[in-house]
Structure 1
C-alpha cells in the first residue's frame, strides 16, 4: 500500500495556472516552511511534503490558499517509500497530478542526531542515510523526466560540517551529508544541460527546538553567537532567499552556497 496521501482543496485541472510548481520535502515547519512561503510570495504553486507534521502542513497550506486559491497542496509521505519502486512511482505520479507539472525539487527533509562511536547501530545508519542521501538521489531520478520537460532544477539543503569539517559524535550524519554534497555535484553533470542541480549549506541558521533532546541553554547559545563573525544566529528566511536565488539563476549549476554568517571561516571541525 502507498505510504502517502494528498490534502488539498477544490483542486481541478480547470483551476491550474501556468505558474511554476515547487515541491519541498519536509516543509511543514522551520526552514522548509520558510522556503515554501518565499516561493509562494514569488508566485509559485507549492507542494508541502510532510510525514509526522501533518497539522502544521495543513495549516500552512490553508494560509497560503487563502492568499491565492488552489496554490498550495499537502502530500503526506514516509520517505522510506523510495525503498519500493512501485510505491516510489505512485508517489511520483501523485506529485505530478497535483498541479500537472513539477519545476523545482527541493531536498530539505533530514534527520539529525548524534551517533557516538562505539554505539553506532544499523538502524541509525539506515535512517540517517535514507533522509540525507538515498531519498534525495532516488527522488531526483524519479522526477528527472518531469523536471527535464520544464527545464527545471533541483536544490539540496546540505551542511557546512559536510565539507571537511565534521561535527564531533555525528559520524553517520556527517557521512550522509557528505554523500549528499557529492550527489549535487554528480547530478549537476549527469542532468545537464536540461536540469540544474545546486545546494545550500546552512551554518547555525536555526536552533534545535526548545523541547527537543538537543535543546541549547542560553550559555551554549551565546557561545555559538560568539563564534560567528556576523555575531548572530541566522534565520530560516536566509536559507529561503538563497534557494530562490538558485531557482532563478539560470546559468548556475553544480554550486553550493554557504549561508552561515561567516562561521565556516572560523570552523575547525569538532565543536569549535
Structure 2
C-alpha cells in the first residue's frame, strides 16, 4: 500500500468541508463521481491500484480548480486480508483531510468465468473487489462515518439481481453478495450512517483494447435492446450517486440507471 500526497497538499484535521473517498476512481465511472462531488464542493480522495498516473492527473486537475482539495491513495484492496495493512490504509485516509463523510465502493474486477474453468484465483479476485473489500472497508471506516453522520454508496450491477450474465457466474455471485451487503448494512448502520446502491446498466463500454472489448455489431445490438436507444454515460451514474449522498431519508435503496434495459432483458449475454 502506498499513499501519495501532492507537494502542495497538507493535512487538515480541522476541516469542515465534506470528504468523499471513491475506490477505483482514477478513470471512467469512478473519475466521473469524483469530478461531480468536487464540483459540489467536496474534498475528494482518489483511490487507485494500477492507474496511478491517471489518478495523479485527475488530482492535479482538481487541485488547479481548488487548491488542496484532492488527494491520491494507491493500494491493492487485498490489504483487507492483512489487519495491519488495513489499519495503515485507514490512517492514511483520515490523515488526508481529517475526516470522512462519504464512502463510495466503485472498484470492481469484471471478467468471465465459464463453468468448467472456474478456479480459486478467479473466485478470490472477483469476490475481493466486488464483495469482501467493500464489507471490510465499510466496517473499518464505520466509526469515522458515524462521527460525520455520513453515508456509503455502492456501485452494483443490474445483473446482480435475477438477470445473470452467462459465463460470469463468479462475478454474478460476488455482485449479488454486494447487493445484499447494501441492504444488510443499511439496517445495521442506521440511524447514524445511510447505505445505498446504484445499479448501472450499460453506462460505459469496455476499453476497446481490453479482452472485454465489444465490436460495432454487438454495440448496435445492445443499443437496440435499450428503451432509451443509447449507451448511458458515467456522468449519469455520478448524478445518481450524488443524489443518494444528499437524500437524508433514503437508506437501503438501490437505484437502477440503465435506460430501461432491465425491463426488456431476461439475462444471458451482453
Indicate whether the TM-score tops 0.5.
yes
Aligned pair 1:67/2:65, yes or no? yes
Conserved in 1, the CA contact under 8 Å of 2:182 and 2:197?
yes
Conserved in 2, the CA contact under 8 Å of 1:159 and 1:177?
yes
Could you say if the C-alpha distance between residues 14 and 161 of structure 1 is closer, same or farther in structure 2, counting changes exceeding 3 Å?
A: closer
Quick one: distance in 2 between partners of 1:134 and 1:259? 24
Aligned residue pairs total: 270
After superposition, the CA RMSD in angstroms is 1.1
CA drift at 1:15: 9.0
Quick one: distance in 2 between partners of 1:83 and 1:8? 28
Give the equivalent residue in structure 2 for 1:121.
119
Could you list the per-position Cα deviations for residues 6-58 of structure 1 after superposition, in whole angstroms to 9, with x for gaps in the alignment? 23232234696421000000000000000000000000000000000000000
Aligned pair 1:95/2:103, yes or no? no
Quick one: distance in 2 between partners of 1:13 and 1:137? 27
Structure 1 segments unaligned to the other structure (5+ residues): none
Quick one: distance in 2 between partners of 1:115 and 1:205? 22
Conserved in 2, the CA contact under 8 Å of 1:15 and 1:70?
no
Quick one: distance in 2 between partners of 1:40 and 1:59? 15
Give the equivalent residue in structure 2 for 1:80.
78
TM-score (norm 1): 0.97
SS at match of 1:198: strand
Structure 2 segments unaligned to the other structure (5+ residues): none
Conserved in 1, the CA contact under 8 Å of 2:27 and 2:54?
yes
Quick one: distance in 2 between partners of 1:226 and 1:16? 52
Conserved in 2, the CA contact under 8 Å of 1:7 and 1:58?
no
